[in-house]
Structure 1
Amino acid sequence: MRVFVAGGSGVLGRRLVPMLVARGHQVTATTTNAAKLPMLAHWGADGVVMDGLDAAAVGDAVARARPDVLVHQMTAIAVGHAGKPDMKHMDRWFAGTNRLRAEGTDHLLAAAEATGVSHVIAQSYGAWNGIRTGGWVKTEQDGLDPMTGTPAEPGMAAIGHVEDAVVKAGGGVLRYGWFYGPEVIEDLAGPVRKRQFPIVGSGAGHCSFVHLDDAANATVLAVEQKAKGVFNIVDDEPAPANEWLTYLATRVGAKRPMRVPAWLARPLAGEVAVVLMTEGRGFSNAKAKRELGWRLSYPSWRQGFAKELA
């Protein structure tokens, strides 16, 4: 098939694009940085510089590529776009990504309709942000937490827009868990090694992870099967923060994470961090495994962390 990957030079795109090419697909991949065009060409893709917030540029790029499937992987989370991670001010940290998930999604869907693209697959997020009622592990039938009144609220609204718009258009939405892999494991390990990532309160809040290679493989399956609806793309083991953080500290040779009461963490790290660590809900991958035939190389973050930090 002809596959158009919007955001093809991003952290997931760098695994997805070569996989698609290796499976015989003709890939057009976009980037906002012309310096990355040789990298895309090296993988066998046609690279295009495109601003996802420019409706005319999006329309032109999609029309030129004439894809059978359009894949929306556009974010602006990288340090070069958003600065250092800042959960306390998540509204500012994710401002660019929120626009890409709102306006950018609309531009891509409009371009797909105008060009006659038959299917759209889009990135969503499902790591710790399941609705905070009931059990610790959520399925696709459960809602996402709107995080009302917190700095994460605009981001959750943008994710909701992606899911609603793409599903309404007959496409598929992939709720990826917390990414880790060769290029991003240090984002987790570094602060733990420096004891800058404490366990807040009970540490009972659950989180779901996914290795980038497994996420890319699931995306290829969704593209090839033209999946419809919502799928949780996470590993087999949603885990409480006090468990995965302690394990991660052991793998990097650090002391056990410090414990900080929620009342103290709230003004220091913000409400979102407290929710993640104390009330977060993880996700089940049963539907993706059953309907997409997805098989994970790293069924548990334990295996993946050990591999990446060996």
Structure 2
Amino acid sequence: MRIFIAGASGAIGGPLVSQLVARGHEVVGTTRSAAKTGALRALGAEPVVVDALDPDSVADVVAKAEPEVIVHQLTALGGPPDFRNVKRMAAATNRLRTEGTDHLLAAGRAVGVRRFVAQSNSSWMERAPGSLADEDDRIEPNPPADAKEAVAALRHLEEAVTGITWADGIALRYGGFYGPGTGIETAPDAVMAGLIRKRRFPIVGGGTGVWPLVHITDAASATVAVIERGKPGIYHVADDDPAPVHVWLPVLAAALGAKPPRRIPAWPVRLLAGGAAVDMMTRARGISSEKIKRELGWTPRYPSWRTGFAEGLS
């Protein structure tokens, strides 16, 4: 198939392009930076530079690409993890999940794509302690005040994509990425790994929030399966071992050669970083990926973050 990947230079872009090209697909991949076109070309994609928030530019590049499938992997995550930059990245990502989604959908409809696959995530599944969320569960209806815009953006993306009738619309709720290119890796300049090594990524409160995780190559292989044979709707993509933060974070720190993470009460974090950070650390909910395994035969290379951290961070 001819596949248009919006956001092909992001964390999942490299392994996704490589896997699609290896399976004989033609890939057109977008980036915001001309400096990244060479890397995309080296992976076998046809690179294009586009501003995803410019509807005319999006319509133009999609029309020229004439894809059968559009894959929406646009985010604005990256750069230094200081408070100001994090707020800026979040706001930009919210726009890409709302305006960017709408622009890609309009462009896809105009050229008659058969399938539209979009990146959502599982961070804000409705809080229900002790159970794993499946695809029938909803996004949290009452998030903390400082997460409302992000949650609304995710809800917009999922409803817009799965609500189309002119193509197969599929949203992928990924677990947290780790592995090469994600920031949780052994590379010396990896942002999140650097925070963990400096003990600046603490366990907040009891660390009871359950974070589903997925190695980046497994996230890409799941996406390939959905591109090739997925059905309209939602699929969860994570490994088989969802675990509370207080369980997996010390193991990750050890794998990175770092000291154990600090433990910090919830109340100062709520004052300094907001309610969303505390909620994620203490109330986040794990997900089940049984649907994609059952329907599409997807099998992760790293079924647990335990083996993934030991073998897949470089």
Report what 1:138 is aligned to. Answer: 133
Taking a change above 3 Å as real, the CA distance of residues 274 and 308 of structure 1, as seen in their structure-2 partners, is same
Within 5 Å, give how 1:20-59 maps onto structure 2. Answer: 20-59=20-59
1:162 aligns with 2:166: no
Assess if the C-alpha contact under 8 Å between 2:8 and 2:29 holds in 1.
Answer: yes
1:233 aligns with 2:233: no
Deviation at 1:215, TM superposition (A): 0.5
Deviation at 1:38, TM superposition (A): 1.8
Deviation at 1:268, TM superposition (A): 2.7
Assess if the C-alpha contact under 8 Å between 2:230 and 2:296 holds in 1.
Answer: no
In structure 1, stretches of 5+ residues that fail to align are: none
Report what 1:177 is aligned to. Answer: 175
Q: Distance in 2 between matches of 1:108 and 1:211?
A: 27
Assess if the C-alpha contact under 8 Å between 2:6 and 2:30 holds in 1.
Answer: yes
Q: Distance in 2 between matches of 1:11 and 1:39?
A: 13
Q: Distance in 1 between matches of 2:144 and 2:295?
A: 36
C-alpha RMSD over aligned residues: 1.8
Report what 1:297 is aligned to. Answer: 301
Q: Distance in 2 between matches of 1:67 and 1:85?
A: 38
Taking a change above 3 Å as real, the CA distance of residues 254 and 134 of structure 1, as seen in their structure-2 partners, is closer
Report what 2:187 is aligned to. Answer: none
Return 179-188 or 207-216, whichever deviates more.
179-188
Report what 1:250 is aligned to. Answer: 254
Deviation at 1:308, TM superposition (A): 3.7
1:39-84: per-residue Cα shift (whole Å, max 9, x none)? 22222211111111111111111111111111111111122xxx52
Assess if the C-alpha contact under 8 Å between 1:121 and 1:227 holds in 2.
Answer: no
1:169-216: per-residue Cα shift (whole Å, max 9, x none)? 141111111111122214443222222122111111110111110001
The letter for the 2-side match of 1:243 is V
Q: Distance in 2 between matches of 1:227 and 1:107?
A: 22
Assess if the C-alpha contact under 8 Å between 2:144 and 2:276 holds in 1.
Answer: no
Alignment coverage as a number of residue pairs = 305
The letter for the 2-side match of 1:96 is A
Deviation at 1:246, TM superposition (A): 1.8
Report what 1:101 is aligned to. Answer: 97
In structure 2, stretches of 5+ residues that fail to align are: 185-189
Report what 1:151 is aligned to. Answer: 146
Q: Distance in 1 between matches of 2:144 and 2:301?
A: 38
Deviation at 1:287, TM superposition (A): 0.7
Identity, in percent, stands at 50
TM-score by length of 2: 0.92
Report what 1:7 is aligned to. Answer: 7
Report what 1:84 is aligned to. Answer: 81
Deviation at 1:149, TM superposition (A): 4.0
Report what 1:110 is aligned to. Answer: 106
Q: Distance in 1 between matches of 2:35 and 2:257?
A: 37
The letter for the 2-side match of 1:50 is V
Q: Distance in 1 between matches of 2:114 and 2:149?
A: 30
Return 19-28 or 149-158, whichever deviates more.
149-158
1:90-147: per-residue Cα shift (whole Å, max 9, x none)? 6543111111110110011111111111110000011x42211253421111112245
Assess if the C-alpha contact under 8 Å between 2:129 and 2:285 holds in 1.
Answer: no
